[in-house]
Amino acid sequence: MGLALVALGLVLVAEGLLWVLAPGLVEQLLALLRGLSVEERRLAGLAALALGLALLWAGRLLGAGLT
């Protein structure tokens, strides 16, 4: 449970930083997403999921994993 809270906290920090540092960019990204079809958004989500898993796997291989 503790690891899930850490992960959620990191996501919220990253999201918050994006909104604080580049709110105009967030608005542009949201407009871009509105222009995509559902399938294109689903594919983008799948790509983000795969990238996240690859980064976690790489971090674990490099010894940064929490055990």
Domain boundaries, the chain: 1-35, 37-67
At 66 the pLDDT is: 61
Average pLDDT over residues 26-50: 95
Structure tokens at 61: 């291989």
Global confidence as pTM: 0.70
At 67 the pLDDT is: 56
What CA–CA distances, in Å, run from 44 to 3, 4, 14, 19, 38?
26, 23, 18, 20, 10
